[in-house]
Amino acid sequence: MPELPEVEVTRLSFADRIAGARIVAVHLGKPLRWPLGVPVQKLIGRTVLGVRRRGKYLLLDLDAGLLLIHLGMSGSLGFASQLPARGVHDHFELETTRGTLRLNDPRRFGAVVFAPDESSPQACKLLGKLGMEPLSDTFDATAFHAGLKARRSAIKQVLLAGDVVVGVGNIYASEALFLAGIRPTLSAARLSLPRAQKLHAAIRDVLRRAVDKGGSTLKDFSNARGESGYFQLEAMVYGRSGQPCKVCETPIKAIRQGQRATFFCPTCQKY
């Protein structure tokens, strides 16, 4: 579910409220993708300094170490002073002096991992190979083009891979390619500089607008306040197989690339 906009929206919905909170208890449910990597006791008494984001990871900075949180495919966080009773899919909970942070994740592809610091092996294993941050000022079109030049697989799959640019998942990859007028199957290396620049702008545009709309709620995404997102209503191609293109009315086509669905308009994205 959660791509960069959903993760960022989640972060914005609780970062200010949790900053300065002291951890008073930790509850673990079923195992997530990876073990926490620290005895729960070591977290008790720690203070949460703030929440950052890197790609689709949330970084909970503590006064000693940090927690890396990934929402996987079906994860969502809740943060409130009073949450309902824990359910079967609530697998991690941080009880703090400011409220309880809870991870609900039915499929358990998500994870919460402790790292002593950002350059530790624990953190580098997860963050080390991540590409450029698309919403940061350092995301530069020329560097983006150079990154694509080195890759021969389809542009859609290079976007998803996350080693050139992070945060673009299955929804926003299709959407950005539509906005840029690029066929998803085109080899990444074959994008000219002007087209790479167009895609660079399209990625920033679609991600920013999605954050503004509170992310996309396809099924069950909600931010840490429990609020849904509305960007799915603005999708030009994602999930619109067979429906008329909003620009030219050609039926939207769905194909599979690397076990994932890709949506595009055969007319607006000719090559």
Partner DNA sequence: AAAAGCCCCTGGATGC
Partner DNA sequence: TGCATCCAGGGGCTTT
Residues that bind DNA (CB under 7 A): 1-3, 6, 30, 33, 55-56, 70, 72-74, 88-89, 106-109, 125-126, 129, 150-154, 157-158, 160, 162, 169-171, 216-221, 258-261
Instruction: Examine the residue annotation and report whether 3 is marked as an active-site residue of this protein.
Output: yes
Active-site option among 11, 56, 240, 253: 56
Q: How far is the CB of 6 from DNA (least distance, A)?
A: 6
CB 224 within 8 A of CB 14: yes
Q: How far is the CB of 258 from DNA (least distance, A)?
A: 6
Q: Between 49 and 218, name the residue whose CB sits nearer to DNA.
A: 218
What is the C-alpha to C-alpha distance for residues 108 and 89, in angstroms, rounded to an integer? 8
Q: Between 18 and 154, name the residue whose CB sits nearer to DNA.
A: 154
What is the C-alpha to C-alpha distance for residues 108 and 30, in angstroms, rounded to an integer? 8
Instruction: Examine the residue annotation and report whether 251 is marked as an active-site residue of this protein.
Output: no
**Structural tokens at position 83:** 């949450």
Instruction: Examine the residue annotation and report whether 184 is marked as an active-site residue of this protein.
Output: no
Q: Between 49 and 73, name the residue whose CB sits nearer to DNA.
A: 73
Q: How far is the CB of 209 from DNA (least distance, A)?
A: 16
Q: How far is the CB of 13 from DNA (least distance, A)?
A: 14
For residue 58, the number of C-alpha atoms closer than 13 Å in the C-beta half-sphere is 32
Instruction: Examine the residue annotation and report whether 260 is marked as an active-site residue of this protein.
Output: yes
Which residues are annotated as catalytic? 2-3, 56, 260
